[in-house]
């Protein structure tokens, strides 16, 4: 019986995996190569090997807080996992040998009943120098965004940032405050989304309900055009030189509140892809050039790698690891190893990792079962084929539900994917029942993980109230004297009163529930 679980990595996915193990009565031991917990979310003055040096929106915590004392009790910091392998009697026990190495060079090995790999996606910088002819002649300094610390070193310099993802946009904005000039290069442009929505409220709270996601799934083209029109009303992407050829549903957006202002002020100039380097001069695809460039920042993303995994667990399906529902290797005779956190969705990523961890621990304990190897491989092959079919025109384009090229994590529809995994452990909301009894509970309002605590294993008695009080907790910090209801925010719309409306909503719910059936 599974009892001892090795958790590799103490970042977001690792922490929620520890929590899930404890909820199921398992004994986790977390191995973290860094000196502290938090992984990607912990800022480092110096970049560490195998870890990104960026901080995205998540939660803040005090390392000395008692809330996190239990995490340290289950963690081995400054301890890297060198390898994991099956024990000699794996066919009977499903156990693994985990070999580790501390900062002092001492190596140890320990046997575990199960392993949760939570090492993250952002561990190997992607520095495609071969794609930039003449880079060896560049007389300035270049580095990957992982090595970026602060803008002070860029003061008074000409800086080129390659890549318009969220990290590239944020770095360009920060550098533009002190640099002589910043140039932001992009091959295809991007749709830029602000964190602040109408009336100064969080945009992800405004447009993340199940109903919103259903409409996007049922009417993708119309929904994309509507969203693009809304974004262009904030600032015209074509006028700013940002308008991409792809629709907003076909590629990840760039989240930035400050980028448009820095562009219109001239502090950031947009450029096409770099054609070649000529000493300190950079020539772009459109024939333009920039002279006397001092620094080039490659915000070109990351590749994920897991060198400690045995070769049989690094089987690929398309551009990605061969995993059932992006968690379980299908060829293992015992399902005692899970990969947690290798996907992206809309909005917060923590609910995705938490659901994967909840599912994995239930499988470890035998409380949830996986399909046969053949069924899992068939599902994986079908999904991979669907992904590549949608990329026939250009292998580096994106499709509405997935991203599909080397070095990019799988992009999923958060609602559909979470429902799909939740159904495996019995915590998926009963849409038919809720539509009749309490339709506002899960169909309208912000989509948050409280919905998966309404019933089943891990049920929380306060989940219902937490759902209905979400907007209250958002508004109160701004002004405690203001009643959120008085602001007339569309917090939880009224349920449809007509039979026709109910039928339409029910149909939409059923379609959404079956949308992600892999």
How far is it, in rounded angstroms, from Cα 270 to Cα 247? 20
Alpha helices in 176-302 (DSSP H): 203-206, 210-218, 220-234, 237-240, 259-264
The CATH number of the domain covering residues in 127-300: 3.50.50.60
417 or 51, greater pLDDT: 417
The pLDDT assigned to 13 comes to 93
The pLDDT assigned to 518 comes to 43
Identify which of 186, 171, 166 has the alpha carbon closest to the alpha carbon of residue 301: 166
How far is it, in rounded angstroms, from Cα 518 to Cα 59? 31
211 or 50, greater pLDDT: 211
Find all residues with CB under 8 Å of 313, minimum gap 6, and list them.
306, 329, 337
Query: What is the DSSP pairing of strand 124-125 with strand 302-303?
Result: antiparallel
The pLDDT assigned to 197 comes to 85
Instruction: Answer yes or no: are the C-beta atoms of 119 and 48 closer than 8 Å.
Output: no
Domains 4-123+303-392 and 127-300 share a fold: yes
Read off the pLDDT of each residue in 152-167 and give the average, rounded to a whole number: 94
Could you report the per-residue pLDDT of 207-248, keeping only the tens digit for each?
Answer: 888 888 888 888 888 999 999 999 999 999 999 889 998 888
How far is it, in rounded angstroms, from Cα 487 to Cα 338? 45
Q: How far is CA 229 from CA 210, 255, 454, 472, in A?
A: 21, 17, 36, 29
Identify which of 316, 507, 518, 509 has the alpha carbon closest to the alpha carbon of residue 421: 518
252 or 129, greater pLDDT: 129
Burial class (CB in 10 A: 0-12, 13-18, 19+), 150: exposed
The pLDDT assigned to 200 comes to 85
268 or 43, greater pLDDT: 268
Instruction: Answer yes or no: are the C-beta atoms of 101 and 58 closer than 8 Å.
Output: no
341 or 407, greater pLDDT: 341
DSSP annotation of 74: T
How far is it, in rounded angstroms, from Cα 58 to Cα 60? 7
Out of 172-176, 250-254, 477-481, 491-495, give the one with best mean pLDDT.
Answer: 172-176
User: Which residue has 């025109």 as its token pair?
Assistant: 393
The pLDDT assigned to 57 comes to 31
How many of the other CB atoms lie within 10 Å of CB of 439? 22
The pLDDT assigned to 458 comes to 95
Domain ranges across the chain: 4-123+303-392, 127-300, 429-514
Task: Give me Rg for the CA atoms of the chain.
Answer: 24
Identify which of 152, 151, 145, 245 has the alpha carbon closest to the alpha carbon of residue 191: 245
The pLDDT assigned to 269 comes to 97
Instruction: Decide if pLDDT at 515 tops 50.
Output: no
How far is it, in rounded angstroms, from Cα 210 to Cα 225? 19
User: In the structure, what pLDDT confidence band is assigned to residue 513 with cuts at 50, 70 and 90?
Assistant: very low
Read off the pLDDT of each residue in 449-460 and give the average, rounded to a whole number: 94
How many of the other CB atoms lie within 10 Å of CB of 291? 10
Instruction: Decide if pLDDT at 43 tops 60.
Output: no
The pLDDT assigned to 389 comes to 52
Could you report the per-residue pLDDT of 300-310, keeping only the tens digit for each?
Answer: 988 878 999 99
Read off the pLDDT of each residue in 354-369 and give the average, rounded to a whole number: 98
Q: How far is CA 100 from CA 16, 306, 310, in A?
A: 22, 14, 15
Read off the pLDDT of each residue in 461-475 and give the average, rounded to a whole number: 89
How far is it, in rounded angstroms, from Cα 516 to Cα 415? 9
161 or 317, greater pLDDT: 161
Instruction: Decide if pLDDT at 168 tops 90.
Output: yes
Identify which of 102, 100, 30 has the alpha carbon closest to the alpha carbon of residue 68: 30
Q: What is the mean pLDDT of the chain?
A: 83
Find all residues with CB under 8 Å of 166, minimum gap 6, and list them.
56, 254, 255, 256
Quote the tokens at residue 194: 């602000």
What is the CATH class of 4-123+303-392? alpha beta
Could you report the per-residue pLDDT of 489-502, keeping only the tens digit for each?
Answer: 554 444 444 444 44
Percent of the chain with pLDDT over 90: 52
How far is it, in rounded angstroms, from Cα 421 to Cα 451? 13
């Amino acid at each position: 019986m599974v009892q001892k679980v090795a958790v590799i990595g103490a970042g977001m996915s690792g922490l929620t995996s520890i929590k899930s193990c404890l909820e199921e009565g398992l004994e986790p031991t977390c191995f973290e190569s860094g000196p502290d917990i938090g992984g990607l979310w912990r800022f480092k003055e110096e970049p560490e090997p195998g870890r990104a040096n960026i901080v995205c929106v998540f939660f803040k915590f005090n390392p000395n807080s008692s809330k996190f004392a239990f995490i340290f009790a289950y963690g081995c910091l400054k301890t890297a996992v060198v390898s994991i392998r099956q024990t000699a009697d794996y066919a009977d026990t499903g156990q693994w040998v985990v070999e580790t190495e501390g900062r002092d060079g001492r190596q140890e090995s320990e046997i575990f009943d199960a392993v949760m790999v939570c090492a993250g996606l952002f561990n190997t910088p992607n520095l495609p120098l071969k794609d930039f002819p003449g880079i060896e002649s560049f007389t300035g300094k270049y580095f990957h965004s992982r090595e970026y610390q602060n803008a002070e070193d860029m003061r008074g310099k000409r800086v080129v940032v390659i890549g318009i993802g969220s990290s590239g946009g944020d770095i360009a904005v920060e550098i533009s405050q002190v640099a002589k000039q910043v140039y932001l290069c992009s091959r295809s442009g991007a749709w830029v989304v602000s964190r602040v929505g109408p009336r100064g409220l969080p945009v992800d709270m405004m447009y993340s309900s199940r109903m919103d996601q259903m409409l996007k799934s049922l009417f993708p083209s119309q929904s994309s055009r509507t969203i693009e029109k809304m974004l262009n009303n904030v600032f015209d992407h074509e006028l700013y030189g940002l308008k991409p050829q792809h629709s907003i549903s076909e590629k990840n957006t760039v989240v930035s509140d400050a980028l448009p202002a820095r562009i219109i002020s001239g502090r950031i100039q947009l450029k096409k892809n770099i054609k070649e380097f000529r000493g300190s001069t950079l020539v772009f695809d459109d024939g333009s050039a920039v002279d006397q460039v001092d620094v080039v920042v490659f915000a070109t993303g990351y590749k994920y790698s897991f060198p400690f995994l045995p070769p049989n667990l690094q089987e690929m399906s398309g551009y990605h690891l061969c995993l059932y529902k992006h968690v379980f290797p299908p060829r293992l005779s015992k399902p005692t190893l899970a990969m947690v956190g290798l996907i992206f969705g809309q909005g917060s990523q923590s609910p995705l990792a938490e659901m994967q961890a909840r599912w994995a621990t239930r499988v470890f304990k035998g409380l949830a079962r996986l399909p046969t190897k053949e069924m899992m491989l068939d599902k994986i092959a079908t999904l991979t084929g669907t992904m590549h079919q949608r990329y026939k025109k250009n292998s580096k384009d994106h499709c509405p539900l997935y991203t599909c090229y080397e070095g990019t994590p799988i992009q999923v529809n958060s609602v559909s994917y979470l429902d799909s995994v939740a159904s495996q452990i019995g915590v998926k909301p009963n849409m038919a029942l809720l539509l009749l009894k309490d339709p506002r509970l899960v169909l309208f309002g912000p989509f948050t993980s409280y919905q998966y605590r309404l019933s089943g294993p891990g049920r929380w008695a306060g989940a219902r109230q937490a759902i209905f009080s979400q907007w209250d907790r958002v508004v109160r910090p701004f002004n405690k004297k203001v009643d959120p209801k008085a602001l007339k925010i569309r917090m939880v719309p009224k349920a449809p009163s007509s039979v026709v409306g109910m039928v339409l909503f029910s149909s939409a719910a059923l379609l959404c529930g079956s949308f992600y059936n892999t």
